[in-house]
Structures are given as structure tokens and as C-alpha cells.
Amino acid sequence: MKLRVLSYNIHKCIGGVDRRYEPSRIVEVIRKLDADVVMLQEVDAGVKRSNGDRQVELLGDELGLRYHTWFPNVDVRGGGQYGNAILSRYPLIESSNIDLTLRFKKRRSVLHGVLRVRHDEIDRTVHVFNMHLGLARYERKRQLEMFLGSHPFAHLHHDTPVVVGGDFNDVYGGLGELLAPSGFRGIARRPLTFPAWGPLRALDAIFVRGAMELQDLSRCDSDLARRASDHRPLIAEVKLQPPAPAVEAEPKPPTPRP
């Protein structure tokens, strides 16, 4: 079966050019992309600039994505926080956060969601890791190393379906090479996503590992996507493979009698 996976830095639902707070624009962009799994970065909760909205619930309700999780990364002056969120059509059976913050740097993390995907012949657990990495090159490299060595990722079987995506702030386009030795697959030339009004950098990314195939990765080019945030959303077409059939052990030959 296929999954549509979206990654989108929504910039607190504030337009990248007009600076207006309009969550309805973000909702409309995502709705038209018809994603099954949505990874969002810079999601507000209780912040004055966004009317005190808890955006993960606002967006989840408007999109009909009843399963969602959110974790705060950054405290906002004047009250409230923002962080990463995962919204899903499929049951979210577990979630946790992996801290990637380096000393003297802004707080960064990976939000981990465990999904139960059941459809036709498929009944699988899918691990989704939604990250927002730092601005410095050495910081991003170190954060990916921390992620690859972290629990629970480091303990997952190599065949377990895994999606990693988010705002990598990948200015130079080389972070995929750091993930490849751990079995992750992407595409050679990712779409440019920043700034939204005229993209020049491929800051955002989606990679897969295990029993999944990344069949397509594209950027949303609608007029609304140019205005709703300061990033464009990425949408991935992912094929989820059924579990490999169990291999029966060969019967042991009978022990010869003396």
C-alpha cells in the first residue's frame, strides 16, 4: 500500500511575506495534499502572536486527523512555546521526544511517533521521526549523530519501516550522506523549499528505511503555499511493504539409535 507523507515548517501559521497569522491557509495547503502522515515544525501553543491557539489541536481538528502529538522545544518570551508535531490518519500508539540540543544553542529535538498502519494486506508498525535541526553546519552534523545513536532509533530492526523528515536546515545539501550508512534512502536532488515565495535552498527533507520504498518526493507549488509560511511543504509517496513471511525451521533428522 501507499502512504502520502508530508513535511512542513508552518512558521507558526504566519505568512513568510505578509506576516499575517492565518491558520486557515496552512489548513487549506495541507488538505489539498491529502496526506496520511503530517510532520510539522514550528507549531505554537499558548503564544500571543497566534491568539493563544494550541495549533496541533486546531490543525488536527480542521483536517480531520484525529491522531496527533506535539512536543515543545522553545519557550517564547511573553508565554507559550513552539515545537514539532505529528498528525496522522492512522492510530498513534506511542510518542516520545529525543533531545538534540547542544550547549549554548537553541533547543532542538526529534519527535518520535509510532503508528499502527492497517489496510488490506498490510498490518505494520511504522516509526516516524520529525526533526528540526540547528542553523550551524557542525551543529546539524552532531545532531544527526546523536539521533542515530539514540534510543529508540538505535534499537530498531533494519527491516522496520522508518520515516525521517523535517526541517533539516540543510543549506549545503549533504546531510543525506550522513544518513545513508544507516540504511536511509532519499533522492539525489531534493526540491528547493526555502524561502517559500521563491525557493533557493533544499532545507527540508524526507528519508525512509526498512520495508518502505520512496517512490516520489515533490514540492507543493500552489499559490497559497507561496504565502502561507516561509517554507514550502514536501510531499512523499511511500510504498509500505507487507511483513516478510515467516520461514519455517527445517525438521531435524531423527537421532539414530545405537
Q: What's at 17, amino acid-wise?
A: V
Q: With respect to residue 178, please indicate whether it lies within any of the assigned structural domains.
A: yes
Q: What CA–CA distances, in Å, run from 155 to 86, 149, 151, 214?
A: 22, 9, 7, 22
Neighbours of 249 (CB within 10 A): 6
Q: Give the model's pLDDT for residue 254.
A: 60
Q: With respect to residue 252, please indicate whether it lies within any of the assigned structural domains.
A: no
Low-confidence ranges of the chain (pLDDT < 70): 245-258
| Domain with 66 in it | 2-240
Phi, psi (rounded to 5 degrees) for 11: 55, 40
Look at phi and psi of residue 13 and say left if phi exceeds 0, alpha if psi is from -120 to 50, else beta: left
Q: Give the model's pLDDT for residue 120.
A: 75
The pTM assigned to this predicted structure is: 0.93
Q: Give the model's pLDDT for residue 16.
A: 94
The residues with which 123 forms a beta bridge, in sequence order, are 118
Q: With respect to residue 122, please indicate whether it lies within any of the assigned structural domains.
A: yes
Grid cell listed for 65: 486527523
Where do runs of H (alpha helix) occur along the chain? 23-33, 55-63, 137-148, 175-179, 223-228
Q: With respect to residue 137, please indicate whether it lies within any of the assigned structural domains.
A: yes
Q: Give the model's pLDDT for residue 243.
A: 77
d(CA 38, CA 65): 9
Q: Residue 50: give its domain's CATH number.
A: 3.60.10.10
d(CA 92, CA 116): 7
Domain count, the chain: 1
Q: Give the model's pLDDT for residue 119.
A: 80
